[in-house]
Structure 1
Amino acid sequence: MADATLLSQIKDFSNRADPYPLYARLRQTPVSCQNDGGQIDGASGDKARGVWVAASHDAVMRLQNDPRLSVETQPPTKRPSTGNPVTDYLVNPVKNRITDSHQPFLFRDPPAHDLLRAATVHQFTPARVQAMRARSERLVSEMLDRKVGSHEIDIVADLAYPLPVAVICELFGVPEGDEANFHDWSSQLATAVEPGVVVSEETRIENARTFDAISDYLADLVAEKRRQPRDDLLSGLANHATPDGYRMGDLDLISTAILILVAGHETAVNLIGNAWLTLMRHPDELERLRAEPGRAPRVVEEVMRYDPPVQLVSRKTLSAIDIAGTTIPEGEAVVLMLAAGNRDPAAFPDPDRFDPDRVGTRHLGFGGGLHYCVGAPLGRFEAEAALTALARRLKAPRLIEDPPPYRRPATLRGPERLRVEIEEVR
Structure 2
Amino acid sequence: MAEFPFATVTANELSFAERDERYRRLHDWPGRAYRHASGLRMIWKYDDVREVLDAGSPAITPANALEPLVGYPRIAATPGAIPHLVRHLLPLPAKATADLTDRRLHKQVWDTMAGPAGHFRIPAADRPRQAAAMTAHFHAALRELPAGTTELDVTALSIAYATRVTGSAVGLPEREWQRVAVWSGAQSGLLGRRMRGRELSDAVAALGQLFTVSGRAVDHNLRSGTVGFATRLRDAGIPRRVAVSAVANSLAAGVHTVSGSIQQGVQRLLSDPGRVWWELLTDPATAGQVAAKILQLDPGLVAWKRRVLRPVTLAGGTELPAGPVLVMFAAANRDPAAFPDCLSLRRPGKMPLTFGFGAHICPGKQSATLAVEVFLHQLRMLLPQARLVAAAPGSRRDPDLLFSGAAVRVTGDRRL
Task: Tell me, yes or no, whether TM beats 0.5.
Answer: yes
Counterpart in the other structure of 1:185: 183
Counterpart in the other structure of 2:26: 26
- Residue in structure 1 matching 2:137, options 126, 139, 152: 139
3-state SS of 2:8 partner: helix
Check if 1:62 corresponds to 2:61: no
- Listed one character per residue, the Cα deviations across residues 192-246 of structure 1 (whole Å, up to 9, x for unaligned) are 221xx43213232222222322222222222222211113223322x311xxxxx
Counterpart in the other structure of 1:168: 166
> For structure 2, which runs of at least 5 residues remain unmatched after alignment?
none
Q: Is the 8 A contact 1:31 1:52 kept in 2?
A: no
- Residue in structure 1 matching 2:72, options 74, 77, 83: 77
What is the distance in 2 between the residues matched to 1:33 and 1:286?
A: 34
**Structure 2 counterparts to residues 305-384 of structure 1, below 5 A:** 305-323=296-314, 324-329=316-321, 331-351=322-342, 353=343, 355-384=344-373
Over 3 Å counting, the alpha-carbon distance change for 1:146 and 1:95 in structure 2 is closer
- Residue in structure 2 matching 1:260, options 228, 246, 250: 250
Deviation at 1:421, TM superposition (A): 1.4
What is the distance in 2 between the residues matched to 1:149 and 1:339?
A: 37
**RMSD (Å), alpha carbons:** 3.2
What is the distance in 2 between the residues matched to 1:146 and 1:220?
A: 26
Q: Is the 8 A contact 2:32 2:43 kept in 1?
A: yes
Deviation at 1:58, TM superposition (A): 2.4
Deviation at 1:106, TM superposition (A): 0.8
**Structure 2 counterparts to residues 189-338 of structure 1, below 5 A:** 189-194=187-192, 197-237=193-233, 239-241=234-236, 247-282=237-272, 283-286=274-277, 288-323=279-314, 324-329=316-321, 331-338=322-329
3-state SS of 1:23 partner: helix
> For structure 1, which runs of at least 5 residues remain unmatched after alignment?
41-50, 242-246
Deviation at 1:321, TM superposition (A): 1.9
Q: Is the 8 A contact 2:311 2:319 kept in 1?
A: yes
Check if 1:10 corresponds to 2:9: yes
What is the distance in 2 between the residues matched to 1:177 and 1:94?
A: 22
3-state SS of 1:161 partner: helix
Deviation at 1:399, TM superposition (A): 0.8
Over 3 Å counting, the alpha-carbon distance change for 1:184 and 1:303 in structure 2 is same
The alignment's TM-score, normalised by the length of structure 1, stands at 0.82
Please tell me the residue identity of whatever aligns with 1:270. G
Counterpart in the other structure of 2:92: 99
Counterpart in the other structure of 1:154: 153
Q: Is the 8 A contact 1:53 1:335 kept in 2?
A: yes
**Structure 2 counterparts to residues 405-424 of structure 1, below 5 A:** 405-406=396-397, 408-415=399-406, 417-424=407-414
What is the distance in 2 between the residues matched to 1:258 and 1:22?
A: 33
Over 3 Å counting, the alpha-carbon distance change for 1:160 and 1:343 in structure 2 is same
Q: Is the 8 A contact 1:71 1:106 kept in 2?
A: yes
Percent pairwise identity:
19
3-state SS of 1:99 partner: coil
If you compute each CA radius of gyration, which structure gives the higher value, 1 or 2? 1
Deviation at 1:6, TM superposition (A): 4.3
- Listed one character per residue, the Cα deviations across residues 17-53 of structure 1 (whole Å, up to 9, x for unaligned) are 6234333333235754434223x3xxxxxxxxxx432
Over 3 Å counting, the alpha-carbon distance change for 1:173 and 1:342 in structure 2 is closer
3-state SS of 2:9 partner: helix
What is the distance in 1 between the residues matched to 2:113 and 2:179?
A: 23
Over 3 Å counting, the alpha-carbon distance change for 1:144 and 1:213 in structure 2 is closer
Q: Is the 8 A contact 2:54 2:356 kept in 1?
A: no
Over 3 Å counting, the alpha-carbon distance change for 1:35 and 1:107 in structure 2 is same
Deviation at 1:402, TM superposition (A): 6.0
Check if 1:399 corresponds to 2:391: no
Deviation at 1:187, TM superposition (A): 1.9
- Listed one character per residue, the Cα deviations across residues 305-343 of structure 1 (whole Å, up to 9, x for unaligned) are 2222221111111332213444212x2222221122112
Over 3 Å counting, the alpha-carbon distance change for 1:361 and 1:407 in structure 2 is farther
Over 3 Å counting, the alpha-carbon distance change for 1:30 and 1:375 in structure 2 is farther
Check if 1:114 corresponds to 2:85: no
The alignment's TM-score, normalised by the length of structure 2, stands at 0.83
Deviation at 1:347, TM superposition (A): 1.8
